[in-house]
Amino acid sequence: FYTYSFSITEGRGHLLVITCPSPTLTSPKTPSSNSRTRREPSRDSATFAFSREPEGRPSPLSRESPRSTTSRRSADTSRSEMERNHFISFLLLRLLLSLITSTWFVPDELFQSAEPAHSLIFGSGHLSWEWTRGLRSPLHALILSIPLYMIKMISFDTPFTVFYLPRLLHSTLFLLSDIAFSSLTYRFLPTQKARNIVLCMYASNWFINYCSPRTLGNSLETCFTLLSLTQYPFTSRECSSKCKSVPLCIFLATLSIILRPTSALLWIVLGLRLLWIAPDPLSLVFSRVLPSMLPTLFISTLLDSWWYGRWLSSLYEFLSFNVLEGGSVHFGVHPLYWYFVDGLPAVFTLSLIPILYGAFGRLSSRPPNVILSACLFYLLVHTFLPHKEHRFILPIVPLLLLYSSPLFVHPSKLSSFLFNLTIVTNIVLTLYMSLIHQRGPFAIGQSILSRSTPSDSLLILAPCYSLPGHSFFHSSIGDIYALDCSPPLNGSTILDEADAFHSDPIGWVERKGRSLDVYSFIVVYEKMWRVLEETLGDTFAPCHKEFHAHFLVSSRQDHYIILLCKVMS
């Protein structure tokens, strides 16, 4: 779905409709690339779309000399056309990814979002232990419940629509992130060439494309973060002239914190910077910040209390469990250096090289240092948290990509090669991760959908949350039972059900005895079927085998998943 071309003679490349100027030894002589002529002005954008400053008023971040009204109008027209191209490109990209992504990432993409929404609207859906403890805000589930409620009202709720409509909604919301990011490139980068380079890095980044169509809270957190930054005043001049945008900025930032409380780490730095540059910090806090933040938090608390049926704040519960009680260790402990040797290199691949150069090299200009400082603080605190995942750093991926252009703006053979290799690498990874890696859960789920009836039941003898739930199968199957792996919240040392099964699978099945006969289907990994074949072989037989992954993320997984169907006696 990417169209990427490179031409030595023209010195341009194309990623969808976004022009990607590859850093070649020669470049076309245009006003934007000829530094000895006039430079294109950097115009501020203060809204989600691309609204500009009043005519004749240059951006505070721009260092270019004033231009004539005719030149400004011509630049505005050119920018409007470019923005339309960006919007169409990102719209097609997000919609396409939402339809073709057929792989499994993490359980949270369904069980912390679409599954609770399905439970709310249709009355069926597994609620994990976090929802009984009150660690999750219902905001995300309520957003996804909107399309589900609509299709329920018109009796159009099929497994296909129930699964894909929340994805399409998520992709549409992430499109706002794309628009906001494009707006930030106009705000911070001085030339169109630099903007196009950064936009290509962003549009091709495999991890952004991998996460954007999934109903992950991290994706929505990233969306609200980028939107809020379009309203953030980065200079004292902006703060004095644009403080009217601060309430909207704070409102969106608060939403991102409600969804993922760790998002507050970014806003600690950005908030302190805002107070530092504000002419009257006290007035700003009481007239702009608190009137926007406090009502949002109050409404969030009301939603939490309504959802859980008791007075509580999911923000407090989340911080209390993960930070004060150290509960995150139940999900795995990683070394301090994990983000630096695994997290960042895996997420950015080769684009980490130009990012480091643009962020720390001796350059005459770069995006505001406060963005880099906020990202480093966010990363530093996450380094000291015991449990680490790639998706936790998704909100800072677009922000760090803003620093990726300087290495390619002044071209050389090496930088030209690196640029093209980076784009190609990310495109290949996007396709592989979205279509092949861990495709087993959804592929085996499609096989179950083609065989099941509402009276059938499913048993999943695999690591917990290895398969989607009712938000995927909807009403096509009755009962779904998966091994429980809730952490021992009361300090118990008893193995959870998933650990007990994998430590002695034959003993576990024998203890269950004839109670397993009530299930119509059983899902196991291939190596587990080889262990249980003699025990289950009289009642169940393989009826479908599906490839899962080349590279396994757990020792309990295997390269193939087996669907066992009940043998008719």
- Residue 48: what pLDDT? 35
Q: Which helix (H) or strand (E) holds 235?
A: none
CB-CB contact of 427 with 2 (8 Å) = yes
DSSP string, 382-420: HHHSS---GGGGTTHHHHHHTT-SHHHHS--HHHHHHHH
Does the pLDDT value for residue 26 go beyond 80? no
* Mean pLDDT, residues 17-22: 48
Helix axes 192-204, 159-188, angle to 10 degrees: 150
Residue 375: closest CA among 340, 357, 391, 399:
399
Instruction: Give the pair of three-digit tokens for residue 300.
Output: 């969030």
- The model's pTM is 0.86
Question: Of how many residues is the chain composed?
Answer: 569
Helices (H) and strands (E) in the chain, counts: 27, 8
Q: Give the span between the Cα atoms of 386 and 45, in whole angstroms.
A: 39
pLDDT tens readout for residues 542-551: 999 999 999 9
pLDDT tens readout for residues 233-277: 998 888 876 578 899 999 999 999 999 999 999 999 999 999 999
Does the pLDDT value for residue 127 go beyond 70? yes
* Mean pLDDT, residues 428-452: 97
CB-CB contact of 437 with 549 (8 Å) = yes
pLDDT tens readout for residues 205-245: 999 999 999 999 999 999 999 999 999 999 888 887 657 88
Q: Give the span between the Cα atoms of 104 and 374, in whole angstroms.
A: 31
Q: Give the span between the Cα atoms of 18 and 83, in whole angstroms.
A: 9
